[in-house]
């Protein structure tokens, strides 16, 4: 009898585009962390600031510092909109 194949390790990346969403960053990150608390594999939350003119990038950076390596921030230099 042969052993059952093992599942390969995998990663989950949750990518969230943000544009002028400063007030929503903290609740979003908190809820994603709560939803994935029992997920048994490596995961990350990638927050993409699409050139916001408010404090979205600052609050996303604060969330990344608070939650650690699970939260990553990508800051675009200008608003590229959905198409890009």
Q: What is the mean pLDDT of the chain?
A: 87
Q: Residue 84: its pLDDT value, please?
A: 54
Identify the burial level of 48 via C-beta atoms within 10 angstroms of its C-beta, where 0-12 means exposed, 13-18 middle and 19 or more buried.
middle
Q: How much is the pTM? A: 0.81
CB burial of 2-38 (b: ≥16 within 10 Å; e: otherwise) equals: eeeeeeeeeeeeeebbbbebbeebeebbeebbeebee
Residue range 49-60: average pLDDT?
A: 94
Higher pLDDT: 52 or 80? It is: 52
Q: Range with the lowest mean pLDDT among 18-22, 51-55, 67-71, 79-83?
A: 79-83
Q: Residue 62: its pLDDT value, please?
A: 96
């Amino acid at each position: 009898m042969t052993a059952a194949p093992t599942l390969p390790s995998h990663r989950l990346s949750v990518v969230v585009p943000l544009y002028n969403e400063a007030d929503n960053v903290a609740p979003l990150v908190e809820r994603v962390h709560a939803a994935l608390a029992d997920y048994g594999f490596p995961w990350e939350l990638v927050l993409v600031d699409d050139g916001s003119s408010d404090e979205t990038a600052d609050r996303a950076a604060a969330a990344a510092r608070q939650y650690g390596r699970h939260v990553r921030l990508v800051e675009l230099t200008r608003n590229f909109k959905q198409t890009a």
